[in-house]
């Protein structure tokens, strides 16, 4: 899994987050189904500095490359108004891979006016 979180979030601008997962593809003679179907329920769980509870936002497939076994999941988040007093956004990404739950660490990203 490859993931590089944004260094900061600029208020009043939409922002994206992406995660790239890769897997060793099975022997083409074997029947494993579509490799993208091995990942289920890819979600970002996010909250800002003014909220206690996380909200769940589904991520979608941006790109899937059968040759390399890489899948990029993405989501676009709404802009954070500058006048809200939000100092940071905190989130983690989780998913099911081959029936096993997996989760990233929690990322804390500052919100800035520039």
What is the model's pLDDT at position 34?
Answer: 77
For residue 100, what is the DSSP state?
E
Rounded distance, CA 1 to CA 33, Å?
21
* pLDDT average per 10 residues of sequence, the chain (114 residues): 89 94 69 75 96 96 86 94 94 94 95 93
Mapped onto helix, strand or coil, the DSSP state of residue 38 is helix
> Taking the CB of residue 44, how many other CB atoms lie within 10 A of it?
22
pTM score, whole prediction? 0.85
In this structure, are strands 60-65 and 70-77 parallel, antiparallel, or unpaired? antiparallel
**C-alpha triplet 56, 78, 37: angle, nearest 5°:** 45
All domains in the chain, ordered by first residue: 9-112 (2.60.40.10)
What pLDDT does residue 25 have? 65
In this prediction, residue 81 carries a pLDDT of 94
């Amino acid at each position: 899994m490859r993931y590089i979180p944004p260094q900061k979030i600029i208020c009043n601008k939409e922002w994206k987050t992406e995660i790239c997962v890769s897997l060793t593809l099975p022997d083409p003679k074997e029947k494993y189904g579509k490799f993208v179907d091995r990942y289920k329920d890819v979600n970002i769980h996010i909250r800002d500095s003014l909220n206690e509870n996380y909200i769940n936002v589904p991520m979608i497939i941006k790109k899937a490359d059968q040759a390399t076994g890489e899948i990029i999941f993405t989501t676009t988040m709404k802009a954070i108004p500058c006048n809200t007093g939000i100092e940071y956004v905190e989130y983690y990404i989780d998913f099911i891979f081959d029936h096993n739950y997996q989760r990233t660490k929690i990322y804390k990203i500052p919100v800035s006016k520039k």
